[in-house]
Amino acid sequence: VTEPDDAQYEGIIKFLKQQYPERVLNISRKQNKELGSGFILHAGNEEYDWSASGRKKALQQKLQSLDISGDGPLVAQKAIISILKGSMDDVDIASQEVGVVSRVGDGIAYIDGVDHAMYGEVVVFENGTKGMVLDITTENIGVILFDTEGTIGQGTKVSRTKKQAGMPVSSNFLGRVVDPLGNPIDGLGPIEAAEMRPIEEPAPSIIDRNPVTTPMETGILSIDSMFPIGRGQRELIIGDRQTGKTSIALDTILNQKGKDCICIYVSIAQKASTVANLVNTLKKNDAMGYTVIVNSTAADSASLQYIAPYSATSLAEYFMHQGKDVLIVYDDLSKHAVAYRTISLLLGRSPGREAYPGDVFYLHSRLLERSSRLNSGGSITALPIIETQDGDVSAYIPTNVISITDGQIFLESDLFFEGQRPAVNVGLSVSRVGGAAQTKAMKKASGSLRINLAQYREMKEFTQFASDLDDATKRQLQHGQVLMELLKQPLNHPMSHADMVIILVVADAGILDDLNSKQVKKEETKLLDWFNENHSEISREINTTKKLDDNLKTRIITLAKQYRGQE
């Protein structure tokens, strides 16, 4: 390592005068044998690296950025050789703004000397660890780390990348399990990405959006008949823990098979074993082919749990802008809010209600607002999940997310333990899109279902202490009981659209009212099997026309009566 000669020294002074006009130059020199050769110039917070080690890094970056996806290794060799033959002078040695870590701990590093960092920008520590700027004060910046602190300590050098945090995206992610940074964690090898998308993107404008009119069928009778979800809608699944929230989301994913819909499941602070079971269920039902799992487990840092839903939404937007329909499940946003609260408190932000920071509403609103149906085709349908404590839907985070979404499916513990599964509370659940996202056939078949169930619930409360009831009340109670039994559905068994319409028409006509509660499900299965075997043209007509005219309705009722021997 030699000192710069007179010509080089003059060149440095000339360069500094151009870069920093009207500034007093005070130059000091220090030898560092690790550089190999050449020199590094530090000017304020800027660093210009003209050393051998700096050129080596620049060359590595240039090689990494090469598009060598052509015809095998020969293309790669030619591209690399052409760079090595050419002069290294054309490898850009750009200036870097460099700071140092003043303190680090709990997944957060405070950095001095990086004056121009942007909110959400990625910074790189000298050991290769990456972090994201999440706090900017007059003294320093606060960075959340995407890796364990490890060798980062006081005095570690940090450089800006001038890039927003991003997620690699491509159709190669289908069928894979990845972490929130896009790295595969399923042991199936690397994933080739098409591009990088920022994890934070502005939501589509009102002008770019289409009304929600196409059904996103869940295959769950109680939801598709009474609280229909449309493509581009955001429907909240809310309830206490262990009431079947993830099961509803999973059934909806299974029901998208063959419907040209890509599914993304985001696990936030779930146990790794829970996610492994979910992946096994998807594989067993041949659903992994159109699904991506973005997984941040309970063992991951709060930083990774915080960015997981945003990364997954960037991947969903990549598919949406190609004109595809995407279903994204956030499981669950309560834990996401807790991860953000952890980060905010560690960054020293003021705690508000329940110690959540003041912008916790914006945390979820900017995420869910990205789900929409575009004029240009393509949509993102969001199913956020929120866990309540003892059924309290009026708590802080639940009310926040209820006000952001277009309806909620409320799952009740009492119903769940009574054996009513899915445990959908018909009174508190709602879809704010309603019949607009239903087929004409479903709308007609389920017309009186909600009111019948409401009347049954009221009558049941009213008559529970009465001893003798008149025949009309008995009939109404029996009819309501049969409807409640029909709404029960086994796990991982979504129903087809035609089967739902047929059973709703049959139930509405009172054809199953003579059965006791234990016989209803068996009779329903037999009846639908009989229709599919002997009268498959009815299912075909419902599936193709999506309509239910009076003739078809009468035919269904007549055939059902014949099957049950009531004619």
Are 145 and 152 contacting, i.e. CB atoms less than 8 angstroms apart? Answer: yes
Q: Judge if the upstream peptide bond of residue 357 is cis by omega within 30 degrees of 0.
A: no
For every residue of 111-140, which 3-state class applies, written as one string? EECCCCCCCCEEEEECCCCEEEEEEECCCC
Give the active site residue among 432, 450, 457, 564: 432
Q: Which tokens go with 251?
A: 């059934």
CA–CA separation, 422 vs 223, rounded Å? 9
Closest CA to 178 of 79, 90, 291, 282: 291
Round to whole Å and give the CA distance between 117 and 556.
67
**Token duo for residue 5:** 């000669």
Q: Report CA torsion sign: 401, 407, 413, 417.
A: negative
The Cα–Cα gap between 227 and 408 comes to 8
**Phi, psi at residue 146, to the nearest 5°?**
-90, 5
Spatial CA neighbour of 151 closest among 133, 126, 131, 134:
126
**Helices in 241-300 by DSSP H: which ranges?**
245-254, 272-284
Q: How far apart are CA 16 and CA 9, in angstroms?
A: 11
- What the block records as the tokens of 78 is 């030619």
* 432 among known catalytic residues: yes
Annotated active-site positions, please?
432
